[in-house]
Amino acid sequence: MGFDIIRFVGEVDEELLCPICTGVLQDPVQAPACEHAFCKGCILEWLLRQSTCPVDRLSVNVLQLRPVPRILKNLLNRLYIICENSSYGCQNVVKLDTLDSHLSECEYNPKRPFPCEQGCGLIIPKDEHKDHNCVKELRELVQKQQQKINEMHQDMATYRYEMTGIKDEMRILKGYVRALRVCNPSVRAV
């Protein structure tokens, strides 16, 4: 699940590669005894089938995995990577530690949300604009809102019924208190 090595500018040290997927480490963790580093997704998938390190076969389980040392994270974060939206036209090369923020702002990101160009007001991913049908989307939105309104009406009716019961109980209790005050003079002060 690591980053494809061809996306990186310059040489990538072999120690920064995941031994399972052979990509550059993504969300890296390490085995405690042997200290081999893996992409978190890769090793979790591996450990579903095996309970050993894929490199040296030492015993390891999910609970034993730990974060890689800070120096390894720093080395990874200094690598330069080509934006994954390069096939859509993005020419940016960014440091690995800024990739997520770049992707959320990348104007070429097909999943980046944009307001509908037809004016319905919905925010939809860029790659869904051509298949977007304002009337259909708004009809579904209205149906969901109507369902919520109906649920609220049901809740209100339930609460009114419960309140009526509580009011009746209060009226009965007030009657008991009045009767106690009349029968017992020491309760009158309460």
- pLDDT tens-digit readout, 16-67: 999 999 999 999 999 999 999 999 999 999 999 999 999 999 999 999 999 9
Asked if residue 122 lies in contact with residue 133, where contact means CB atoms within 8 angstroms, the answer is no
What is the band of 76 on the pLDDT scale with cuts at 50, 70, 90? Answer: very high
Which residue has better confidence, 126 or 15?
A: 15
| Half-sphere exposure at residue 1, Cβ-oriented, CA atoms within 13 angstroms | 13
Phi/psi-derived region of residue 23, left when phi > 0, alpha when psi is between -120 and 50, beta in every other case? beta
* Domain boundary assignment for the chain: 5-105, 113-190
- How far, in Å, CA of 173 to CA of 159, rounded? 21
Kindly state the tokens that stand for 54: 């894929």
Give me the pLDDT at residue 188, please.
62
- How far, in Å, CA of 168 to CA of 144, rounded? 36
| Residue 143 CB coordination number (10 Å) | 10
Tell me which fold the domain 5-105 belongs to.
Herpes Virus-1 (3.30.40)
Give me the pLDDT at residue 74, please.
96
Residue with tokens 């017992």: 184
Give me the pLDDT at residue 187, please.
66
- pLDDT tens-digit readout, 130-189: 788 888 888 888 999 999 999 999 999 999 999 999 999 999 999 988 888 888 777 666
DSSP H or E run through 47: helix 40-49
